[in-house]
Amino acid sequence: MTPPRAPATATASAGTTDATTDATDATTATITAAAAAAAAAVSPPRWRLAAYGLLGLPLAMAALPVYVQVAAYYSMQRGVALATLGWVLFAARLLDTVQDPLQGHLIDRLRHGIARWLLLGGAMLALAFAGLWQPPASAVPAALWLGAMLVLAYSAHSMLNIAYLTWGARLSGGALLSASAWREGAGLAGMLIASVIPATILSGDADRIPARMALYSLAFAALLLAALLALLKLAPAWPHATPQPNGWRSALRRMASNRAFLRLLGPYFLNACSVSLPATLALFFIRDQLHAAPLAGAFLGCYFAGAACGLPLWTALARRIGVLPCWRIGMGLAVASFAGAGLLGAGDVLPYFAVCLGAGVALGADLAMPPVLLAGLIADDDAAGAYYGVLTLLGKLALALSGLALPLLAALGYRPGVGGGAALALVYAGLPCLLKLLAMAALRPQPEPMPVQLYRSRP
């Protein structure tokens, strides 16, 4: 029996259905290809993110000696009085603090001039850093020289660092957390170098310190140049932002109306103060409280090694639980690790190594989480450089205020080289723990900056 023939209308419908299916498949393929291309654009190759992160290494190599070791050097080797030294540090850091928002505004308006900006800042920083370690022999000219070199070094460091953070913040969302991890990982490697080599040089023969620090400065300048070239030639391209039509006043109004950003500023500042105080006083504490000056480099190396080891753990934890809870846990670990430091005395070397290790691991969260958290609070059409200018302003204001710890200790009777005492222990360890606890209490829930579980690249 011959089967019945399908009606013509049914055949036409079948053809239409097949054509529709083919069109749907083609559309799906096109969308899939577009999504794959977008994913590739969102997540640059790891080597490009590593090229971006490399600049963190020389920036840290310069920052650690300037913020931690230069005060002890001018006090112990050039005889600058502790109170005078503290006021010089405070004035130079305060001036540096004022200029950061202006630099952030200028960076926001850069389009094709980023290379000239970075290379100029790099040249200034290399010269100022070398000059810091070649002061006059007598105390008063040395104090004046220190002030001039600090202003130049701080200005150059701000030129580089604010542009660098803005560059990272403008990367596509898929690269943001990974770029931050590469940046902070390279920075911790630079801190390890800076904690061991300069500390070893500064604890050696006083007559050979200037020549040896000159060699260190030369190596720093070479690494800085290499990192800048890698950033400009190999990293994801500088993302051009649309300049704000109403200039800096519009940027200030938008920041002032960003309540999530304003809620972040208080805890960030308190936390920065809690980190800055021990950084300023660490070498004094190691020498006069622990009587372990030859181990200063080892202590600092342990601290930053802990931070380097902790950074990938914090990054992985942030992907799982979120950036803000991760930062809060890091703060708690810092308090738990550092709380007993003020009870240590002469010869307590092993307990202090444990303090350095625990506090160092916690430092990884302090370094990586705030920039990522801030990036999620900035709208696409906002001036990111202005936001990071304010953030670095607060960090440097905290550093400026930490310089006042030196005249405070002098007023409380502390004398370098004589002994630590309760005043040094309280200001070095007790006060930072209190500030950290206040920062934890002030930290309020923020919008998550990104779906952090999506990002896989890491150092």
Nearest to 118 by CA among 223, 190, 225: 225
pLDDT higher at 455 or 407: 407
Residue 79: which region, alpha, beta or left (left: phi > 0; alpha: psi -120 to 50)? Answer: left
* pLDDT tens digits for range 245-296: 455 667 677 777 788 888 888 899 999 999 888 888 888 899 888 988 888 8
451 vs 112 pLDDT, higher one: 112
Say whether 54 sits in a helix, a strand or coil.
coil
The string of DSSP letters for 28-52 reads: HHHHHHHHHHHHHHHS--HHHHHHH
| 458 belongs to a structural domain | no
| Chain-centroid distance, C-alpha 360 | 14
- The CATH code of the domain that includes 207 is 1.20.1250.20
- Of the candidates 189, 353, 370, the one whose C-alpha atom is nearest the C-alpha of residue 272 is 370
Helix runs in 322-445, H state only: 323-338, 349-375, 384-403, 405-411, 421-425, 431-442
The type of residue at 244 is: Q
Q: Quick one: pLDDT at residue 192?
A: 80
Flag whether 29 is in a domain: no
Q: Is 418 exposed, middle or buried (0-12, 13-18, 19+ CB in 10 A)?
A: exposed
Supply the pLDDT for residue 240.
Answer: 60
Q: What is the 3-state secondary structure (H, E, C) of 383-411?
A: CHHHHHHHHHHHHHHHHHHHHCHHHHHHH
Residue 35 lies in a domain: no
Least confident of 25-34, 310-319, 341-350, 354-363: 25-34
What's the pLDDT at 26?
39
Region 361-375: mean pLDDT is: 84
Query: So what's the pLDDT on residue 16?
Result: 39
> What's the structural domain count of the chain?
1
Q: Is residue 20 situated within a structural domain?
A: no
Would you say residue 32 lies in a domain? no
Q: What mean pLDDT do residues 453-458 have?
A: 34
Mean pLDDT lowest among 167-176, 196-205, 344-353, 362-371: 167-176
19 — pLDDT class (breaks 50, 70, 90): very low
64 vs 206: CA distance, rounded Å: 20
**What integer pLDDT is reported at residue 52 of this predicted model?**
87
Domain span holding position 95: 46-237+259-453
pLDDT at 351 over 90: yes
Amino acid 420 reads G
Within a domain: 2? no
Cα–Cα dist 261/259, whole Å: 5
The answer to whether 156 touches 92, Cβ cutoff 8 Å, is: no
- What's residue 453's pLDDT? 35
Q: Which two tokens stand for residue 87?
A: 């006021």
Taking a C-beta distance cutoff of 8 angstroms, is the pair 118, 160 a contact?
yes
- Is the CA virtual torsion 258, 263, 266, 269 positive or negative? negative
Q: Residue ranges of the alpha helices (H) in 79-208? A: 82-108, 114-132, 139-169, 173-202
Q: What is the pLDDT of residue 167?
A: 80
Write down the pLDDT at residue 336: 92
Per cent of the chain over pLDDT 90 is 17
Between the alpha carbon of residue 221 and those of residues 191, 216, 356, the distances in Å are: 15, 9, 29
- Residues 18-27, buried b or exposed e (16+ Cβ, 10 A)? eeeeeeeeee
Model's pTM, two decimal places? Answer: 0.65
Answer yes or no: is 140 within a domain: yes
Average pLDDT over residues 410-432: 82
Q: Considering the domain boundaries, does residue 381 fall inside one?
A: yes
**CA 224 – CA 231 distance, rounded (Å):** 11
Q: Which of 314, 301, 309, 274 is nearest to 356 (CA)?
A: 301
